[in-house]
Amino acid sequence: MSYPWPGGARAAVCVTLDFDGESPHLWRTRADPPDSLGELEQRRYGPRRGIRNLLSMLDNLGLRATVFTPGWIADRYPEQVAEIAGRGHELALHGWCHEPPSALPRDDLRRTLERAATTLADLGGQRPQGYRSPSWDMTAEVFPVLHELGVGYDSSLMGEDRPYVVDDLVELPVDWATDDAPYYRYTSGDPRPPATAPVVRAGWAAEIAAAKRCGSLCMITVHPWLSGRPARVTALEELLAPVVADAQLCTPAAAELAAWHREHGEGPRVTLDELGRP
């Protein structure tokens, strides 16, 4: 069954940035922060340089992206986050300090997300409408919290390849194959070097071509500390320029796509009970 994409397109490509910076590292090492500065600085490349490289590339293409931003990052790097919103991109929730929801009691989850929503709204002028769970780690507890916060969509699950509905929340599905982390994330001692930018570009071009054939959504997820490096930004621009020029592909920001799905979408509706049932 074909999905009724905006503008009569055959498929959709959604470009999302997970602007994590050093927050996942700080969360993971919070009990015993290491003396080593290597990974901290590797990750700080994102807020210091990578985000600006990606924003310039998106400006060149005239493409609007969704930037999932932990509240801590917005607090620590307000200029960069204000600039993201100032250039017309969507800001959306991604925890406070990249805490996976399975690590938090429900009240803490609600409190941290409310604080992050307020921080993003202060900088971006708008309350975030969407959520992506840190590390795509989801629990059933997250859905009622998102409802309480007035969030309309989530983008963390992989149960479809086009928008669907989980517990009355629009789900914009993700895919590890079009996340940059498995290809580019590298720390000293890993057995394999990071993938090269041309290899990732070719693989993702195949993903987009297949989405166009099947009428599905290609959800691209990039991290400024990884994909913000020059050769990788260049490869991404080369990948996305023909997408933007292709009238058979639409490139909505996540909130636009979620609103579209509420109005026009078709597809599965999953309840929380069904989600957790073996």
Residue corresponding to tokens 């620590």: 76
Tell me how far, at minimum, the Cβ of 189 lies from Zn ion, in Å. Answer: 22
Q: Are 158 and 174 in contact (CB under 8 A)?
A: yes
H or E stretch covering 176: none
The beta strands (E) that lie in 53-195 are given as: 66-69, 90-93, 130-131, 153-154, 164-166, 169-171
Sole window of 16-24, 112-120, 121-129, 165-173 interacting with Zn ion (rule: CB under 5 A)? 16-24
Task: State in angstroms the smallest separation of the CB of 155 from Zn ion.
Answer: 11
**Does residue number 154 form part of the binding site for Zn ion (CB under 5 A)?**
no
CB of 267 to Zn ion, least distance (A): 26
Which CB atom, from 128 or from 134, has the smaller least distance to Zn ion? 134
What are residue 58's phi and psi, to 5 degrees?
-65, -35
- Which residues between 108 and 137 bind Zn ion (CB under 5 A)? 134
Closest separation between CB of residue 55 and Zn ion, Å? 18
Instruction: Point out which span in 5-13, 20-28, 36-44, 147-155 binds Zn ion (CB under 5 A).
Output: 20-28
> Of the two residues 174 and 208, which places its CB atom closer to Zn ion in the complex?
174
- Of 5, 10, 16, 20, the residue at the interface with Zn ion (CB under 5 A) is 20
Question: In the numeric block, which tokens belong to residue 163?
Answer: 């928008």
Instruction: Tell me the closest approach of the beta carbon of residue 33 to Zn ion, in angstroms.
Output: 19
Q: Please state the closest distance from residue 221 (CB atom) to Zn ion, in A.
A: 9
- 134 vs 152, which CB is nearer to Zn ion? 134
Number of residues that bind Zn ion (CB under 5 A): 3
User: Which of 10, 11, 12, 18 is the binder for Zn ion (CB under 5 A)?
Assistant: 18
Whether the CB-CB separation of 170 and 261 falls below 8 Å is answered with yes
Nearest-5° angle of CA 154, CA 250, CA 80? 60
User: Which amino acid makes up residue 55?
Assistant: L
Residue 152, CB-side half-sphere exposure with 13 Å CA sphere: 14
Whose Cβ is closer to Zn ion: residue 102's or residue 196's? 102
Using the minimum distance from each CB to Zn ion, give the nearer residue, 28 or 269: 28
Closest separation in Å from C-beta 227 to Zn ion = 13
**Dmax of the chain from CA atoms?**
55
Rounded to whole angstroms, the Cα distance separating 142 from 41 reads 31
Q: What's the CA gap between 141 and 104, in Å, rounded? A: 10
Q: Which is nearer to Zn ion, 20 or 160 (CB)?
A: 20
**Residue of 36, 40, 35, 38 whose CA lies nearest to 23:** 40
CA distance 185 to 42: 10
List residues near Zn ion by CB under 5 A.
18, 20, 134
